[in-house]
């Protein structure tokens, strides 16, 4: 677990008084450290000889009564000693929220709370009087799985189960307010349990108020500008939807953020630039089209733009896509609206400009074969390049990540070794010489299938002097003669 941070980037408190294995906490015996954060430390523990009973927190058991209890639990210990009164009140309020949410909102996708009590530890003054939450023990966190690389077959299911937990929270009138991979725990068979509800906020109507805390990498743009009132900062369910978009991106990119920066504060600055409309959303090409669309909707720059994309509606989209393409965790990525066919892998490599990154050095520049985007019309015999990536359509900086490849031979696999060094971008207008009707079949993001290719001229001095643009990469359909020799570009 990692600490929740205030906007200043500092942890709420810092403790080094860790409990050794064998230390008794109430009726539990510590077996090891799970993790330490800004507000709490979490330990694995086993029953200490007293048979557990049904817990007042709901779902599970606690010390002292009938029925078998869990073999191992997690103890979340929240010290209050030596804190200023304001800090101690914050800790108590955080614990109260977690217990209340656990008691009222029991659900298979939420971590189970078994008991809560105040620790008596006269031998450890820093922990004496600490609040202890006894929780269901998980096998791991999503963060650990993301760092190791989420198996392809698990990705879609994990995200769907996170949506199930968020859907239940939101329909019950709560916002998690600190969704991140560290707070997504994995039970048996990697089933999801949302956890750490210390910042969870109960809604009063459309919004609630939370302490000015959170994990910087998961705060939406409006949170950075939110005024702090007497009740805290305003929080709405769309804050969880934004965080879900970041989590989706991390699941498919082994932890990569869609916002660049060496530190959380720097990445936060990039979020604010995007939220203010001064920078586009840049999603990694590793995201399959379905998940790219879903993440983009979650990461809409404003609360109003995200509001239509509720946890319920996102879950419905995922389930519908998985039904259309059953049997694979990433099946929804097989098509944006149609899941039955497998997209040509070459479209995600040579076309998107990532597999052929070494080929991105040159761009089309010659006046006779290129016109920059923004022209109102396209001359006869010319085609305007179309990039389906929404984040690239508004860019004017000709970033290599948004470039598209032109093929050397339209009848060979459209892979990196079959792409010329010259790159093109959305909106570029190319001089087309002729068309080939029966080239290598290409499938676009809408599952439209085409074997049509256009041979286009390259700038003077280029080698080769022409290359091939697949028809799926332009909306134009000029009247052109057939190419006399459907072979490699000369």
Can you tell me which residue has the tokens 């969870």? 200
Q: What is the pLDDT of residues 449-482, one digit of tens each?
A: 788 999 999 888 788 889 999 998 998 888 899 9
Q: State the Cα–Cα distance between residues 53 and 115, nearest whole angstrom.
A: 10
What would you report as the CA-atom Rg of the chain, rounded to the nearest whole angstrom? 27
> Are 421 and 397 spatial neighbours (Cβ–Cβ below 8 Å)?
no
Q: State the Cα–Cα distance between residues 160 and 318, nearest whole angstrom.
A: 7
| Residues 216-241, mean pLDDT to the nearest whole number | 86
Any residues with CB less than 8 A from the CB of 403 and at least 6 apart, and which?
353, 360, 363, 423, 424, 425
Q: Across all residues in the chain, what is the average pLDDT?
A: 77
Q: Which of 39, 47, 290 is nearest to 155 (CA)?
A: 290
**What pLDDT is stored for residue 466 in this prediction?**
92
Q: State the Cα–Cα distance between residues 237 and 253, nearest whole angstrom.
A: 25
| Cis peptide bond prior to 464, omega within 30° of 0 | yes
> Are 311 and 241 spatial neighbours (Cβ–Cβ below 8 Å)?
yes
Q: What is the pLDDT of residues 173-189, one digit of tens each?
A: 889 999 999 999 998 77
Q: State the Cα–Cα distance between residues 103 and 78, nearest whole angstrom.
A: 19
Beta bridge partners of 192: 186
The mean-pLDDT minimum among 197-201, 230-234, 473-477 falls in 230-234
Q: State the Cα–Cα distance between residues 202 and 103, nearest whole angstrom.
A: 14
**What pLDDT is stored for residue 11 in this prediction?**
34
Highest mean pLDDT among 229-238, 240-249, 417-426: 240-249
User: CATH number of 5-136: 3.30.200.20, 3.40.718.10, 3.40.50.920, 3.40.1350.10?
Assistant: 3.30.200.20
Cα angle 279, 284, 288 (rounded to 5 degrees) comes to 125
**What pLDDT is stored for residue 37 in this prediction?**
67
How would residue 326 be classed by pLDDT, with cut points 50, 70 and 90?
low
**pTM exceeds 0.75, yes or no:** no
| Residues 190-207, mean pLDDT to the nearest whole number | 84
> Are 141 and 184 spatial neighbours (Cβ–Cβ below 8 Å)?
yes
Q: Is 174 helix (H, G, I), strand (E, B) or coil?
A: strand
pLDDT at 215 over 60: yes
Q: Which of 383, 467, 490 is nearest to 421 (CA)?
A: 467
Q: Topology of domain 140-334, per CATH? A: Transferase(Phosphotransferase); domain 1 (1.10.510)
Other Cβ atoms less than 10 A from the Cβ of 5: the count is 19
Q: State the Cα–Cα distance between residues 314 and 332, nearest whole angstrom.
A: 12
Q: Express the helix, strand and coil content of the chain in percent, nearest 5 each.
A: 30, 25, 50
Percent of the chain residues past pLDDT 70, beyond the cut: 73
Residue of 204 and 302 predicted with greater confidence: 302
State the helix-helix crossing angle for 311-324 and 237-253, rounded to 10 degrees: 40
> Are 192 and 165 spatial neighbours (Cβ–Cβ below 8 Å)?
yes
Q: What is the pLDDT of residues 342-373, one digit of tens each?
A: 333 333 333 333 333 333 334 443 333 344 33
Q: State the Cα–Cα distance between residues 395 and 211, nearest whole angstrom.
A: 37
Cα angle 265, 91, 96 (rounded to 5 degrees) comes to 120
Domain pair 5-136 / 140-334, same fold:
no
Q: Which of 16, 13, 45 is nearest to 29 (CA)?
A: 45
Any residues with CB less than 8 A from the CB of 460 and at least 6 apart, and which?
366, 368
Residue of 89 and 45 predicted with greater confidence: 45
Kind and range of the H or E run holding 320:
helix 311-324
Q: What is the pLDDT of residues 261-317, one digit of tens each?
A: 888 999 999 999 999 999 999 999 889 999 999 999 999 999 999 999 999 999 999
Cα angle 297, 259, 422 (rounded to 5 degrees) comes to 95
| Residues 328-354, mean pLDDT to the nearest whole number | 36
Please tell me what DSSP assigns to residue 207. Answer: B
Q: State the Cα–Cα distance between residues 79 and 10, nearest whole angstrom.
A: 18
How would residue 444 be classed by pLDDT, with cut points 50, 70 and 90?
low
Residue spans per domain, the chain? 5-136, 140-334, 345-473
**What pLDDT is stored for residue 189 in this prediction?**
75
Q: How far is CA 69 from CA 110, 114, 134, 299, 373, in A?
A: 19, 10, 12, 42, 67
Q: Is 421 helix (H, G, I), strand (E, B) or coil?
A: strand
**What pLDDT is stored for residue 329 in this prediction?**
44
**What pLDDT is stored for residue 253 in this prediction?**
93
């Amino acid at each position: 677990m990692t600490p929740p941070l205030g906007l200043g980037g500092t942890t709420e408190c810092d403790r080094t008084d860790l409990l050794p294995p064998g230390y008794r906490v109430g009726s539990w015996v510590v077996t090891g450290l799970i993790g330490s954060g800004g507000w709490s430390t979490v330990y694995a523990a086993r029953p200490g000889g007293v048979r557990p009973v049904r817990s007042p927190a709901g779902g599970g058991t606690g010390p002292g009564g009938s029925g078998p209890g869990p073999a191992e639990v997690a103890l979340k210990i929240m010290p209050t000693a030596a804190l200023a009164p304001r800090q101690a009140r914050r800790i108590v309020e955080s614990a109260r929220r977690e217990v209340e949410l656990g008691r009222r909102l029991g659900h298979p996708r939420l971590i189970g709370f078994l008991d809560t009590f105040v620790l008596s530890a006269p031998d450890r003054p820093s922990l004496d009087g600490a609040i202890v939450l006894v929780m269901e023990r998980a096998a791991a966190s999503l963060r650990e799985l993301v760092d190791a690389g989420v198996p392809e077959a698990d990705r879609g299911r994990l995200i769907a189960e996170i949506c199930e937990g968020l859907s239940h929270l939101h329909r019950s009138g709560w916002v998690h307010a600190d969704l991140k991979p560290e707070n997504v725990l994995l039970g048996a068979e990697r089933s999801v349990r949302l956890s750490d509800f210390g910042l969870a906020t109960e809604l009063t109507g459309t919004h609630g108020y939370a302490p000015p805390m959170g994990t910087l990498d998961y705060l939406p743009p409006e949170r950075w500008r939110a005024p702090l009132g007497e009740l805290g900062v305003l929080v709405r369910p769309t804050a969880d939807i934004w965080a879900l978009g970041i989590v989706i991106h991390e699941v498919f990119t082994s932890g990569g953020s869609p916002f660049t920066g060496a530190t959380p504060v720097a990445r936060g600055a990039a979020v604010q630039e995007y939220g203010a409309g001064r920078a586009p959303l840049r999603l990694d090409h590793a995201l399959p089209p379905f998940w790219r669309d879903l993440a983009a909707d979650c990461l809409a720059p404003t609360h109003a733009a995200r509001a239509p994309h509720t946890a319920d509606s996102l879950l419905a989209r995922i389930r519908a896509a998985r039904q259309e393409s059953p049997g694979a965790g990433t099946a929804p990525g097989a098509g944006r609206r149609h899941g039955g066919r497998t997209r040509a892998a070459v479209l995600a490599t040579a076309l998107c400009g990532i597999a052929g990154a070494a080929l991105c050095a040159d761009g089309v520049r010659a006046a006779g074969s290129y016109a920059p985007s923004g022209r109102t019309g396209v001359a006869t015999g010319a085609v305007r390049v179309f990039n389906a990536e929404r984040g690239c359509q508004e860019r004017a900086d000709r970033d290599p990540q948004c470039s598209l490849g032109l093929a050397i031979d339209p009848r060979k696999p459209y892979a990196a070794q079959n792409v010329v060094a010259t790159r093109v971008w959305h909106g570029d207008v190319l001089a087309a010489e002729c068309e080939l009707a029966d080239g290598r079949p290409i499938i676009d993001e809408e599952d439209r299938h085409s074997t049509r290719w256009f041979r286009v001229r390259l700038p003077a001095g280029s080698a080769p002097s022409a290359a091939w643009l697949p028809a799926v990469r332009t909306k134009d359909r000029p009247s052109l003669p057939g190419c006399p020799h459907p072979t490699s570009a000369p």
